[in-house]
Amino acid sequence: WPPLLQLQTDQENQSTTILESQSQHPKNELAACDLSQGKWVFDNVTRPLYKEQECTFLTAQVTCIRNGREDTLYQNWRWQPNHCSLPTFEARKLLEKLRGKKMLFVGDSVNRNQWESLICLLQTTVQPGKATWKMGAPLSVYFVQEYNATVEFYWAPFLVESNSDDPRNHSISQRIINPHSISKHGIHWKDADFLVFNSYIWWMNGRNIKVLRSGSPEYDEIERPIAYERVLTTWANWLKHNINHSRTSAFFITMSPVHQQSSNWNKPEGAACASETDPISNTSTPLDMGTDRRLLKITKNVIKTTGVAVGLVDITTLSEYRKDGHTSVYTIRQGKLLTPEQKADPATYADCLHWCLPGVPDTWNELLYAHIISSSSSS
């Protein structure tokens, strides 16, 4: 892994570097490139891709500047893959692909975080008053009138049915899943033209997961990887038999890391991700953020063995470097902004799971965009 590079302040060098990094690549070259391997480059010319205050659809959970965060450098980092460059995100081009269609994000609040990011990216080219936005439960909808296009989010943190499926009342300590029951959720996914799934953080409460026995109200406690494989197999088989893959493209977003232990980046005296203003710069040794990478291996194996057509969007390692990008104490808790007393206790109250916007999820959507334009037709 090469070290993080900061662009030179010399304007000529800076402009040259940015132009080179954003050059377009042929589709076959992009498809052959590992977008997950690279470095974060400081870029205050082309980043951020939008301004927080200009994206009126953002929720208070992710508007860190509005919520009191004073540093803004977390908005100025661009992901640079090692052997190619990400194509420039063109909102109008994506909206043309979405014309008369529906993109649906399915998963947990981190997936909702990415959904909000994509709305902001698209909004940069939508005329004021020409789009509507409605937060609902379990479905939230963004609609662009000019393109008759919808970008939606559906709450299903385990993908299959669970006792945590109520978006407004899911703080349940004893989480129980039904690993073979997905049709109740899936009925809402069938008519989507683009499906974007994730499922990770809700699996991380403990080593074991409570799993209902088939046809019984009783459950067994099963090790996380075993339960995850059962669920992903159910999900993949559902996709295989219920989606018209000549029309619908499906993607799976890999694990978004948590930066709860500052000792993981050699700062044992730190308070989780609070007060972090730069990415991790030491890339000479592999990171260990506590991410359960066994689940990524399982996801890859399930996709391969079932033969389902799903594009894997690997955001994990690039996100692990971004300890600076979380909402930390500049967010809401139980629907309310943190109080000054709570902000003063980041060890207890800092949110090191969700991400400020603009920020890291914008890069996830740049990767998703690259997958879409490299795998779809040019029409």
Enumerate long-range contacts of 92-98, CB under 8 Å, 24 or more apart.
92/125, 93/373, 94/122, 94/369, 94/372, 95/122, 95/125, 95/126, 95/144, 95/147, 95/149, 96/147, 97/372, 97/373, 97/376, 98/144, 98/147, 98/149, 98/150, 98/151, 98/193, 98/194
Catalytic residue among 185, 326, 354, 371: 354
Q: Exactly one of 21, 36, 85, 109 is catalytic; which is it?
A: 109
State how beta strands 102-107 and 194-197 pair. Answer: parallel
Residue of 351, 362, 371, 374 marked catalytic: 351
Is 188 annotated as catalytic? Answer: no
Whether 259 is a known active-site residue: answer no
Any catalytic annotation for residue 371?
no
CA atoms of 326 and 289, how far apart (whole Å): 14
Residues with Cβ within 8 Å of 126's Cβ and at least 6 positions away in sequence, in order, are 91, 95, 144, 146
> What residues act catalytically?
109, 351, 354
